[in-house]
Each structure stands twice: as structure tokens, then as C-alpha cells.
Structure 1
Amino acid sequence: MKADPLLDLKSKLFLALLVAAAIVVPMANLVAAPGSDFYLPSFAVALFGKYLTYALLALSVDLIWGYCGILSLGHGAFFALGGYAMGMHLMREIGPRGVYGDPVLPDFMVFLDWKELPWFWWGFDQFWFACLMVLLVPGGLAFVFGWLAFRSRVTGVYLSIITQAMTYALMLAFFRNDMGFGGNNGLTDFRDVLGFDLRSDATRAGLFVASAAALGLGYLLARRVTTSRAGKVLVSVRDAEARARFLGYRVEGYKLMVFTLSAMMAGVAGALYVPQVGIINPGEFSPANSIEIVIWVAVGGRGLLLGAVLGAILVNGAKTLLTGWVPEIWIFVLGLIFVLVTLFLPKGVLGAFGTLSWRSGGARRGASAQPAE
């Protein structure tokens, strides 16, 4: 069987659009004159950047659900852990400019009468260390959790339930003030990153470009995995795990690899999300958030990679519009979207377009194959 090319036509078009967005959006904000038809306000740049981080998060879920059959309802936890790792660095960056002027302790620790910085905050004054933790903390948790779960051969709905339980446990833990992560208020009031003011238009544009680059690299990585020999094994595990095990494949190892990689991608998405929205709190661990991520993937098209990206952008764009008009109805609209997609678009929006294209192409080939009268 010939392997799929790493960069097919759809991939090239997607990456070209991503590069174009990384150029056009910052220019529309920084170069275009305010009030002109081409001007993009700063809040829109941050909003679009947030959408890109959501797209990367959805991509991480599609990698394990669409290609390995692991329905994780806990990826919001990996996203939040990556966000907290970056938030801790941003809090350390404030230094003596905080409300209480303490050069070491964040404001919430001074308020709670903490006397010294906890050991798990050490090193977060260095950006490289924070970036390392963005990968290692979610990845380490996923590795330990996956090793225990896959070794015990927990699958299906049982695995989904325990991933959701893990997320809920972390949410309850991070809500506690004595955990040292800001309690229910979380981490906020960030000032700058790498010396650049987070409130400036140039920094927001830079974060948008960084989010676009991370999404592009994440897509290439996911595409590399899914088109490789290991990706074929993952699909066989998804479709017939017992048969793949019988053929001699170490199923647990493949599952653990892709689960850990997916968690690290989610952590990067969370790290880019935090400086653009300006806050991270325990609400990001909410199990409802993890369920919503799954809906993004289902809407766009499970097992297509680009479908996950499309679903995240479409659903969150609709959420932004509807919550601006009638906030109370969004949760019902989201449920309705999921039901309609399940009933009428089981392959998602992108999958439906692919099916239509295949059918029309087949019809044309059939017509051309008819003998001339």
C-alpha cells in the first residue's frame, strides 16, 4: 500500500491560508489606518488568535479520537495545565510592579500571607523553563495516566469517564487557595512577556502569528504521525484492537505515544491562549469544556485533522456571535448543533463536502465511461 503524501493539496491550501492570515491580520491592525475599511481592531486580533489556539486544541483531540479511537473527555485539563505553566511565568514577570510591590511573591500570595515562594514555582521566572513545563507537565500527566489506563486495558466509555473524573478532580484541587495557584480567581493581571507589553497592538499581533505558527507545526506533526506506518497501526487499533493485538503489535505503546503527544499539543495551545485572553482560572478544567472540544471535532469532521480545525473555528465563531446577542441560548444551540450533525452529518462538515465531491466525481467518471451513441 502506498503511503499518503505528507502534504497533499488540502494540506498545502490550508498552510497557505494560515501563512496569509499570519500576514494579513497583523497588517490590517498595525498598518491600516483606524477607521478605514481594511482596519482590524485589536480585540479582533486577540479573538482570532484565541480561535487558532482552540483549533490546535481540537487538532490534538482529533489525533487520538479520530485516528486511535480514544474518546478523551479530559483534554481540557491538559490545555489548562499548559495555560497555568505560562501564567506562572507571566506572574513572575510582574515582579515588583505588582500591587504589593513584592519582587518575588505574586500579589495573591502576599494577600494570603504566604512567606516564601512554593518550590513548584521555582524556575518560572525563566521563559525557557516555562516553555519546557508547558510540554512536560501535560505530557507527564498523560504518560502516567495513559500507562496506568492502557496497561489495564481500560477502553471505550470507561476510559472516557475516568478522563472526565481526572479533569474534575484537578478543577476541585485548583479551586483551593492553599494549592498555590490563585484559587478560584486564578492567575491574571499579566503585564508583559519577554519584555513586550501584552497590552500593545504589536504584541497581540505577534501572539497571533505565534498561534498561527503553532497551529501549522501542530498540523504538520499530526499529519506526519497519521501518514506514517505508526499512523496505520493507530487506525487498525481504532477499527479492530483485538486483531491488531493478535498480529503482534504492542497496542498499549502506540496508544501511550499518541495520547502523550496529543496532551503536549493541548498544553501548547493553552500556553498561547493565556497571554491573549489575560487570565487562567480553574474554570478551564471544567468537564463541560472538554465535552465542547469533542463537539468541535465532531462538527468539523472526525479523523480528518482539517475537520477539527474547521469545527473549532466554526463553533467558536458562532458562540461569539450568539453570546453577544442572546447569551442564555448558546448552550441549547450547541446541543442542537451536535444533535443535527450526528443525525445528518455523521462525518462532519468537511467530511460531507468530501463525500459530495467524491459522488460528483464518480458521476462524471460514470458519464464519461458511457459509450457514444
Structure 2
Amino acid sequence: MTKLKPWLPLIGIGVFAVLLLVVAPAVLSMHWINNLGKYCCWAIVAVGIGLAWGRGGMLVLGQGVFFGLGAYTMAMHLTLETAGPGSLPVFMILYDPSAPLPAFWEPFRSDAFTLVAIVLLPVIVASILGYALFKRRVKGAYFAILTQALAVALAVLISSTIRETGGDTGLSDFKYFFGFVLDDDANKIMVFMIAAALLIVCLLVVWQLGRSRFGELLIATRDAEERVRFLGYDPANIKLVAFVVAAVMASIAGAMFVPIVGIITPAEIGASASILMIAGVALGGRASLFGPALGAMAIGWGQSSLGSSWPSGWIYILGLVFILVTLFLPMGLSSLSGRAKSLVWRSRTAATAPAAASAPVLEEVKK
């Protein structure tokens, strides 16, 4: 396999940044700006999954947990900001106007606490969960099932706590984003730009990790875990770092999803949502840098376009695409370029082989 020059991915990230941060706001309507912002959030999650699954071999089917942590952290802050100082959120007033604000809500009035919690909460949860699983060498299907079960459990927990979290209806009707009015088109573009910039930063982080010593150890752990352990490294710690980084990216994506979409419900963090995130990564190519992000954006576009106009058929199209990719392109669409290069090389080799074989014969005839 031909190794890419180290500056080629950087050029790709630069082109991607220009398209998102310069071209898109100039040519797209506000409707498509909002949609593209939503796709960027899913792409951020996918970039983290690409690190954990594509390079680390960990099939994380429960990224909805960390997406939900970031989303509900941001939603609680925006809800309190909309309600105003000392006021209860509207949905709490409807259930019990005389009840006090739950104690765990109060810190989320602070901007700084909210931003820190978006990063710190997934680090704590992922560290505890990852340490417990990796130190016991839980992997493969068991790891995937456990992570997905946690996503289901969190969605059920939120659905059952109507008074504290809004239940199945979720949290919505946000009017402000850290002091900026969300109904203003200029502020909507600003929120989109933040989400797009965070996606670029995540791509740079994964690119840097991939070319570092840690990236080599992560791939080695995926391919030959026992050999890595024999060389004196602890595979559990290597996996844990990748798992935590992916969790933080999912939480950041969830936090940006809330002001862009304007609502968060348990349906956005459950098993089906987590599987949809995995589907985008599988479609684009889990082991590549851009594949997970582009695949997630493609799935997001399909869900927004086909899912709204043909909701009964969209799920079948998604299932068919997933089956075809699994059967014929197990490394995703990003592997098409490699296959094309291989076919070109083989055709050139086949074309030059007869000429090389006939050269000695022509020399004999000349003599």
C-alpha cells in the first residue's frame, strides 16, 4: 500500500475548511445552513467513532450516551437562560408551579460551568466505563452490546424523569445562546460556523493522533493486542485514551446539535440514533480520515431529504446501502480510490509484461 505524503491530509482538511467556513455561508440558504450544521454535528461524532473503531477496533454502539450528555448539558443551560434569572423552565411550571428547581439544574445557569461540563462529564463517564471494560479485556461483540445497552438505559431514564428532564418531549424552545438571540440569522450562521470549526479541529486532532506514536500503538493494539502487551505496553490504557477522546467529541457534537436543531429528546440518543452514527462511519470508511465525516454527512442528508419525503422507505434504503457496503466495500467508500489505483497498477503491469517478455526474442532475431 502506498503511504500518503504527510501534507496531503492537511491540504484536504484546508479545502474542507474553506468549503464549510467560506463557500457554504456564501451560497446556501438559511434552511440548508441549519441542515449542514446538523450534519457537521453528526460528522464530529463520526470522526470520534473512526478513531475508536477504525483505528482502535472498538465497535462503539453507544455513542448516544456521550452525545446525550453534551446535548442535555447544553439544553439545560439554554433552557435556564431562556427562563431568566430565578425562574423555572416552562415545562416544570406546567407540572408543578410551586416546586423548586432541582438542585442539579442550578449550576447550569453558569456559562463557564456548562462549557466545562460538556468536556468533563464525558471524560469522567468514559474513563470509568472504559477502565472497567478494558481492564477486564471485554471486547468484540460483548463490548458493542454493553455500550449500546447503556445508550438504551440513558434514553429510558430520561423518558421516565418527566419532571426533571421533560421526558419523551425533551427540551426545546431555546431563545438564547450564551446571550445571542437564536432567531437572528446572523447568530444562526455564527452557531453553524462554530460547529464547522469544531469539526475541522476534530479532524486535525485525529490526523495528529494518527501520525503520532500513540496512533501506531492504537493500530498495533487493534491488530495484535497480545504482541503489544508482550512489548511492555498496556493495551487497556491505549484503548482508554481513544475511547475517551471519541466520547468528548460526541459530547461536543451533542452540545452544538441543540442550538442548531432547537430540540433534544431521548430519541436522539437511544439505540437507533447510535446505530445511525455507526452506519455513516461504515459507509464512508472507518479507517480513513475523511470517510467517517463524509459518510455521516451523507447519511444525515438522506435522513433529512428522503426521510422527510419518504419516511416509510428511507429506512429500507439505509438498510440496503448498509448491506451493500458491508458485502462489497467492507472498508467503506473511501476504499474505492485504493481499489482504483490497484486496478490501474495491475493493468499497467499486464501491459508491460508482454513487451518485457518479447525483448529477448527481438534481440535474437536481430542477431
SS, match of residue 245 in structure 1: helix
- SS of equivalent residue, structure 2 residue 333: helix
Letter in 2 for 1:78: F
Q: Corresponding residue for 1:31?
A: none
Instruction: Note the C-alpha offset of 1:87.
Output: 0.6
Match in the other structure for 1:12:
11
2:86 pairs with 88, 103, 110, which one?
A: 103
Equivalent in 114, 123, 131 of residue 130 of structure 1: 114
**1:13 offset after TM fit, Å?**
2.1
Aligned residue for 2:107, secondary structure, equals: coil
Quote the Cα distance in structure 2 between the aligned partners of 1:174 and 1:310: 31
Structure 1 residue runs of 5 or longer lacking an equivalent are 29-39, 97-101
- Equivalent of 1:295 in 279, 292, 298: 279
- The answer to whether 1:141 aligns with 2:129 is no
1:115-163 alpha-carbon deviations (Å, 9 max, x no partner): 2222221221222221111111122111111111111111110111111
CA distance in 2, matches of 1:104, 1:151: 46
**Structure 2 residue 221 is the aligned partner of structure 1 residue 237:** yes
Q: CA deviation at 1:263?
A: 0.1
Identity of aligned residues (%): 38
Q: Give the 5 Å matches for 1:1-373.
A: 7-28=6-27, 40-96=28-84, 103-113=86-96, 115-177=99-161, 180-361=164-345, 363-364=347-348
Q: By how many angstroms is 1:4 displaced?
A: 7.4
- Residue pair 1:60, 1:265 contacting (<8 A) in 2 also: yes
User: 2:258, 2:264 within 8 Å by CA — same for their partners in 1?
Assistant: yes
Q: Distance in 2 between matches of 1:225 and 1:93?
A: 37
TM-score for the superposition, normalised by structure 2 = 0.91
Q: Secondary structure at 2:58's aligned position in 1?
A: coil
- The whole-number CA distance in structure 2 between the counterparts of 1:247 and 1:318 is 46
- After TM superposition, give the deviation of residue 26 of structure 1 in Å: 2.0
When residues 357 and 4 of structure 1 are mapped into structure 2, their CA distance, relative to the original with a 3 A threshold, is: closer
Distance 2:148 2:195 in 1: 27
Q: CA deviation at 1:47?
A: 0.2
Q: Distance in 1 between matches of 2:161 and 2:233?
A: 46
Superposed displacement of residue 248, structure 1 = 1.5
Number of equivalences: 354
Whether the aligned pair in 2 keeps the contact of 1:77 and 1:284 (CA below 8 Å) is: no
Rg larger for: 2
Alpha-carbon distance between aligned partners in 1 of 2:253 and 2:346, rounded to the nearest angstrom: 39
Q: TM-score, normalised by structure 1?
A: 0.89
Contact 1:307 1:351 in 2 (8 A): no
* CA displacement, residues 269-324 of structure 1 (integer Å, 9 cap, x when unaligned): 11111100000111122111111111111110111121101111122222222123
**3-state SS of paired residue (1:23):** helix
Structure 1 residue 366, shift from structure 2 partner: 7.3
Could you tell which deviates more after superposition, 235-244 or 269-278?
Answer: 235-244
Give the whole-Å Cα distance in 2 for the aligned partners of 1:368 and 1:74: 51
1:36-73 C-alpha deviation (Å, 9 max, x unpaired):
xxxx3211110011111111111111110000100011
Aligned partners of 1:46 and 1:130: how far apart in 2? 23
CA distance in 1, matches of 2:309, 2:167: 31
Alpha-carbon separation, structure 1, partners of 2:57 and 2:12: 27
Q: Secondary structure in 2 aligned to 1:66?
A: helix
Aligned partners of 2:221 and 2:235 also within 8 Å:
yes
Matched AA of 1:106: P
Shift of 1:344: 1.2
Once the two structures are superposed, residues 192-246 of structure 1 have per-residue CA deviations (whole angstroms, 9 ceiling, x without a partner) of 1122111111111111111111001001111111211111111111111122112
**C-alpha spacing 1:365/1:153, structure 2 compared with 1 (3 Å):** same
Unmatched tracts of structure 2, length 5 or more: 363-367
Offset, 1:352: 1.5
1:4–1:227 Cα contact (<8 Å) kept: no
Separation in structure 1 between the aligned mates of residue 348 and residue 181 of structure 2, nearest angstrom = 57
Structure-2 change in CA distance of 1:269 and 1:25 (3 Å): same
- C-alpha separation between the residues in 1 aligned to 2:284 and 2:142? 25
**Amino acid across the alignment from 2:29:** P
2:348 and 2:235 map into 1 onto residues whose CA distance is 42
Q: CA deviation at 1:21?
A: 2.3
Q: Which moved more, 1:204-213 or 1:122-131?
A: 122-131
TM-superposition CA deviations, 1:7-37 (whole Å, max 9, x none): 5314412332222321122233xxxxxxxxx
